[in-house]
Structure 1
Amino acid sequence: MRRYAFVGTGSRAQMYLAALLGPYAELGRPVAFCDTNEVRMAYYDRLAGSPLSHYDPDSYDDLLKQCDVVVVASPDHTHADYVSRALRHGVDVIVEKPMTTDQAGVRQIREALDSGAAELTVTFNYRYSPRNSLVKQLIPEIGEVTSVTFEWCLDTVHGADYFRRWHRDKAMSGGLLVHKATHHFDLVNWWLADRPEVVFARGGLRFYGAENARRRGLVPRPSRGFLPGDPFSIDVTADERLRELYHDGEHLDGYVRDRDVFSEGITIEDNLNVVIGYQRGASMSYSLHAHCPWEGYRVAINGTAGRIELEVVERAHAAPGGAGATIGAATASANLGIDLSAAEERSSGAEGVRVRGTRLTLQRHWEPARLIPVPAGAGGHGGGDAALLRDAFLGARDDPLHRAAGFADGAASVLTGIAGNESLRTGRAVLLEELDLPG
């Protein structure tokens, strides 16, 4: 039985702990937590059913002597150090996306892999979602891919939440082009079985932040906390899990979970447009907007023999006052292993013209369009999370879709975002070869 340690005890680690306590209990057991905050680790002890060993970041090497696998779910900018040190100690790693946030982190992890004997798994759960897996299967139907259009809409619940917490600091998250868009860049890399070659980006902070609030004439607001009747604030004390995970322990490490989205100090963008050229000639137009009235994504893939269109509505509209309930429920979902999509839909009250669901269309040249049925699975991401966990804990199977991801996949997606950030900074197109993209 393998021994698992967890680095980072915020909401992101709960899915992996729940899997070890449930369907994979015979394969492994949790033995230790590492975090900057004892309150959060105590909360995880209660989830685990008994106290486990606790380590702070300074004693991480001691933790590595007690485990066979480490699950890294800490803030993004810390991933490279935790991952590389584990690999050098011969400890296998499961790391949440993004694998790292900068070029130095990519090099650090690659060198550790080259010098060690441990394995690295990067968890891209969108590959495992049935709808996205179906797109991969349909690609041969449209011939050689020539172009992709990909639009991602984050609503004023989910999107706003990135501007309340540590993600708002680009030095910690790499911005949404790294933290969030790595999911989407990886999807397209995987769908096309190709790698990006050049990236050009435009974007900025256009909606959130103090300057935008002043420009739109919003009244002065407190820098954190809950404002009754304000749809952009959350009460972390009203939800038991948010309170225990964050509010009750903030005096220990200074992490504030409920910063105002219109306060000072935000260094990430909320509107992004990117053009990506791929090595085999295809191109993609990508956009991400973090203040939309609905949440989901639209993808169109054009090929020499036809076109695939995918539209996914994850939340049809964000209702005023629904943010706290939805975020609290999402924090719970990873622990409970349930699909909260229906609960989120109820909290949003969405109905009418735009409804939650998936529409996948295939149209070959000279043929009528066909709607492709998309199977629904149990659990998060339509069953995708369950399939990801199976590969993470059992090892990659004989999967014709090759959904399991490792270092090269993590590096390709991260470096696309890094190139986008460099393009934002310089105003020029950035070649991936400048960033030392691994093959």
Structure 2
Amino acid sequence: MKKYVLVGAGSRALHMFAKPMSEEWKDVIQFCGVYDTNRIRADLLSAECGYVTVFDNFDRMLVSVKPDVVVVASADFTHHTYIIAALRAGCDVITEKPMTIDAEKCREILEEERRSGRKVTVTFNLRFAPYFAKIKELVASGVIGDVYHAALEWHLDRSHGADYFRRWHSEMAKSGGLLVHKSTHHFDVMNWWLNSKPAEVHAFGSRRVYGPTRAKRGQRCLSCSYTSTCEFYMDLSDHPFMEKYYYQAESEDGYIRDRCVFHDEIDIYDTMSVQVRYDSGALLTYSLVAYSPYEGWRATLNGSDGRMELIQGKESRIRIIKLDGTLEEVEVPSDEGNHGGGDERLLRTLFEGSINDPLSQQADSYAGALSLLIGHAANRSIKEGVPVQIDDLLPVVAS
């Protein structure tokens, strides 16, 4: 039975990893320890997971437990630190997406993985959701031939989208912006569907809604003078997990969970448009906005033998239009699990160690690198106003 430890004690760490490791998978793996820079939060997680041992130092946890696997679910800008330390200690690593936030840290991870001989797995749960997996299966079967062009539009509503601007995610140095933190999911799915490496990226981005765009603002919702007039007001008492794990833990590190979405430190984009050219010649048109009236996405794939339209909502369908106009609709049963059933299937693969993976759903460090590098390249393109070559960011790595 392999020994696992966890770094990070936030919502994703608790619900995606800690509770499943201590409950559903306790007969398969041994959950031996947790570390978080915020001790209060780590103690709260421990109490919900059978009082797993809490460590006050990550390196001491590695020495004491000698784990087989380290699960990294901390803030994005710390991922590379823990991944590299775990690899050097002889451990395999399972990391939340994004693997890291920029090209330099990405290269460091890949080099240490190569040197250590250990393995880094990135948890791209959308690959495991039945709807996304069915698209992969259909594209791989050649139902629309060679894919020439793809378009993906993703929109976050003013609850989910705004929440990124309350947290550490709103600072580029901590998250790489939404083009890394959020879009890494979307870029990975496209890389996976197209089965091709991104080659060139050109992007545009701006802040139109969030950040210091209005005078009537405060430091945080809790103490704001404009609670009755601000459409983005959030009452922490309405969110028991946030109040318990963050508000009650503020004294430990000063991290404020309900920071104003108009604060001065926001430097990420809320409006983004990205063009990607792949080695196969396929082109991707991608957009992301974080202030939509409603949440959702839509996509199309255009190939040599037809077109695929992706429609997911209450009824999840895949529409295939052949060159002669013949129309076929493929229904995919809805899954009530987290992230369309992706989380549960991903955990089963991680902990059962299945080697049967015909769709290549399990993502390695190279897949993690390519997805985050599109986001990093997009950020650089926006800043410098020029296209960016992926090979210039990662010239020494081969798939």
Flag whether TM exceeds 0.5 (same fold).
yes
Residue of structure 1 in register with 2:33 after alignment: 32
1:18: how far off?
A: 2.1
Cα root mean square deviation, aligned: 1.4
Cα-to-partner distance string for 1:108-146 (whole Å, 9 max, x where unaligned):
111211121322110000111111111111111000000
How many angstroms apart in 1 are the aligned matches of 2:309 and 2:238?
Answer: 41
Secondary structure of the residue that 1:417 maps to in structure 2? helix
Q: 1:431 aligns with which of 377, 389, 392?
A: 389
Opposite residue 208 of structure 1, the aligned amino acid is Y
Residue of structure 2 in register with 1:103 after alignment: 103
1:234: how far off?
A: 1.4
Secondary structure of the residue that 1:70 maps to in structure 2? strand
Identity of aligned residues (%): 41
1:149: how far off?
A: 0.5
Consecutive aligned runs of 4 or more in structure 1 exceeding 3 Å deviation: 228-231
Q: Is the 8 A contact 1:76 1:98 kept in 2?
A: yes
1:206: how far off?
A: 1.0
How many angstroms apart in 2 are the aligned matches of 1:360 and 1:64?
Answer: 46
Q: 2:207 aligns with which of 205, 208, 231?
A: 205
Residue of structure 1 in register with 2:158 after alignment: 156
Residue of structure 2 in register with 1:60 after alignment: 58
Matched, 1:113 2:106: no
Q: Is the 8 A contact 2:316 2:333 kept in 1?
A: no
Q: 1:358 to 1:213 in 2, by over 3 A?
A: farther
1:254: how far off?
A: 1.2
Q: 1:34 to 1:421 in 2, by over 3 A?
A: same
How many angstroms apart in 2 are the aligned matches of 1:357 and 1:291?
Answer: 24
1:55: how far off?
A: 2.6
1:397: how far off?
A: 2.8
Residue of structure 2 in register with 1:77 after alignment: 77
Secondary structure of the residue that 1:213 maps to in structure 2? coil
Residue of structure 2 in register with 1:422 after alignment: 380
Matched, 1:89 2:47: no
How many angstroms apart in 2 are the aligned matches of 1:108 and 1:240?
Answer: 38
Q: Which deviates the most, 239-248 or 300-309? A: 239-248
Residue of structure 2 in register with 1:274 after alignment: 274
Q: Is the 8 A contact 1:312 1:359 kept in 2?
A: yes
How many angstroms apart in 2 are the aligned matches of 1:358 and 1:153?
Answer: 17
Opposite residue 167 of structure 1, the aligned amino acid is H
Stretches of structure 2 lacking an aligned partner (at least 5 in a row): none
1:185: how far off?
A: 0.5
Opposite residue 395 of structure 1, the aligned amino acid is G
Secondary structure of the residue that 1:267 maps to in structure 2? coil
Residue of structure 2 in register with 1:19 after alignment: 20
1:2: how far off?
A: 1.9
Opposite residue 203 of structure 1, the aligned amino acid is G
Residue of structure 1 in register with 2:352 after alignment: 394
Q: 1:22 to 1:364 in 2, by over 3 A?
A: farther
Matched, 1:45 2:56: no
Cα-to-partner distance string for 1:131-182 (whole Å, 9 max, x where unaligned):
1111111111000000001000011011000000000010000001100000
Q: 1:222 aligns with which of 218, 225, 228?
A: 218
Equivalent runs, 1:156-305 vs 2, <5 Å:
156-210=158-212, 212-214=213-215, 220-226=216-222, 227-228=227-228, 230-305=230-305
Q: Is the 8 A contact 2:315 2:334 kept in 1?
A: no
1:229: how far off?
A: 6.2
Opposite residue 174 of structure 2, the aligned amino acid is M
TM-score calculated relative to the size of structure 1: 0.86
Opposite residue 235 of structure 1, the aligned amino acid is D
How many angstroms apart in 1 are the aligned matches of 2:20 and 2:355?
Answer: 18
1:28: how far off?
A: 1.2
Secondary structure of the residue that 1:154 maps to in structure 2? strand
Cα-to-partner distance string for 1:193-214 (whole Å, 9 max, x where unaligned):
101000000011111112x225
TM-score calculated relative to the size of structure 2: 0.94
Q: Is the 8 A contact 2:46 2:54 kept in 1?
A: no
Residue of structure 1 in register with 2:149 after alignment: 147
Equivalent runs, 1:404-423 vs 2, <5 Å:
404-423=362-381
Secondary structure of the residue that 2:143 maps to in structure 1? helix
How many angstroms apart in 2 are the aligned matches of 1:163 and 1:221?
Answer: 14
Equivalent runs, 1:334-345 vs 2, <5 Å:
none
Cα-to-partner distance string for 1:273-321 (whole Å, 9 max, x where unaligned):
00000001000000000000111111100000001111234xxxxxxxx
Residue of structure 2 in register with 1:365 after alignment: 323
Residue of structure 2 in register with 1:5 after alignment: 5
Q: Is the 8 A contact 1:85 1:112 kept in 2?
A: no
Secondary structure of the residue that 1:258 maps to in structure 2? coil
Stretches of structure 1 lacking an aligned partner (at least 5 in a row): 215-219, 314-355
Secondary structure of the residue that 1:372 maps to in structure 2? strand
How many angstroms apart in 2 are the aligned matches of 1:311 and 1:179?
Answer: 24
Opposite residue 143 of structure 2, the aligned amino acid is E
Secondary structure of the residue that 1:198 maps to in structure 2? strand
Opposite residue 222 of structure 1, the aligned amino acid is G
How many angstroms apart in 2 are the aligned matches of 1:42 and 1:55?
Answer: 10
Cα-to-partner distance string for 1:350-381 (whole Å, 9 max, x where unaligned):
xxxxxx44332111111432221112234112
Q: Which deviates the most, 246-255 or 228-237? A: 228-237
Opposite residue 391 of structure 2, the aligned amino acid is E
Opposite residue 20 of structure 1, the aligned amino acid is M
Q: Is the 8 A contact 1:237 1:247 kept in 2?
A: no
How many angstroms apart in 2 are the aligned matches of 1:307 and 1:223?
Answer: 49
